[in-house]
Amino acid sequence: MEQQGKQGVIVSKVLPNQDPVKFVQFKYKELEDGFKSWLSKQSLLVEAFVVTATSGVQGAAIGAIMGTITPDISSSMPTPPQAALNPQAMASLKQAQALAGGPLIQARNFAVMTGTNAGIACVMKRLRGKEDVQSSMVAAFGSGAMFSLVSGMGGSNNATNAITSGLFFALVQGGLFKLGEKFSQPPTEDLHYARTRSMLSNLGLQNYEKNFKKGLLTDHTLPLLTDSALRDVRIPPGPRLLILDHIQRDPELREKTGKL
């Protein structure tokens, strides 16, 4: 009987959820983590090249889709008389093409922006060992400058407009980064359930996080958990077995349990 119970636990852990959508998401996350792990072991040059190329391809795909579903405003604009002899008129046409061109133009623009941004961000992270607002703004500056140069938005004064576009991109990215930091910070109480949340997620039992919070079963209480304690917070028998089995198998939690 005991052996059958253990086999049930093992099967449940191998197949935590039969939902095909979640299974695909799990496999994709697993593949993504493996790719990132392999990439982190490569040289800076290889990592920057791969990140720039893959991000550029993704950006090109997004740009092509955007250019397909949105009308090409630049092609419908009448060409001003003497446009070939008027630098300002030509600059206006180039700006219209850069901002509202067809699929190929948008694919090029998005590829340059996303590829440059990702490549510079990758290099900054390797050199500085962290991702912060400064690195994000440097990457955005490079992205904006390259976009200005490739799209021809700068007209005849390419250098000045590249710097201006780079600064604009950097300021926008810096503001978005700080805004994201502000809203992504978890509530103070959630900091006490970080390890618990991770454990439940790995077991496919994230729906029971509210039970832990209701019973004030924080990360500090994990080594002390018993079947009766989990029963008191209304967690069913199956999930209770998975949770207790996970705690027994975790070396750090098992060591803390031994000390207690």
- Phi/psi zone of residue 216: left (φ > 0), alpha (ψ -120 to 50 degrees), beta? left
pLDDT digits (tens, 9 = 90+) for 144-193: 999 888 877 655 677 888 899 999 999 999 999 888 877 776 665 577 88
210 vs 257, more confident: 210
* pLDDT value at residue 259: 57
For the chain, helix (H) and strand (E) counts, in that order, are 13, 0
How far is Cα 109 from Cα 61, in angstroms, rounded to an integer? 11
Q: For residue 15, is pLDDT > 50?
A: no
When pLDDT is cut at 50, 70 and 90, the band that residue 31 belongs to is confident
Burial class from Cβ neighbours inside 10 Å (0-12, 13-18, 19+) for residue 211 reads middle
- Cα–Cα separations (whole angstroms), residue 79 to 82, 91, 134: 9, 12, 42
- pTM metric for this prediction: 0.55
| Helix or strand holding residue 68 (H, E) | helix 44-69
Distance from C-alpha of 215 to C-alpha of 167, rounded to nearest angstrom: 50
8 Å CB contact between 121 and 87 = no
- Chain-centroid distance of CA 194 in Å reads 19
Question: What DSSP state is assigned to residue 47?
Answer: H
Give, as one character, the DSSP assignment of residue 157: -
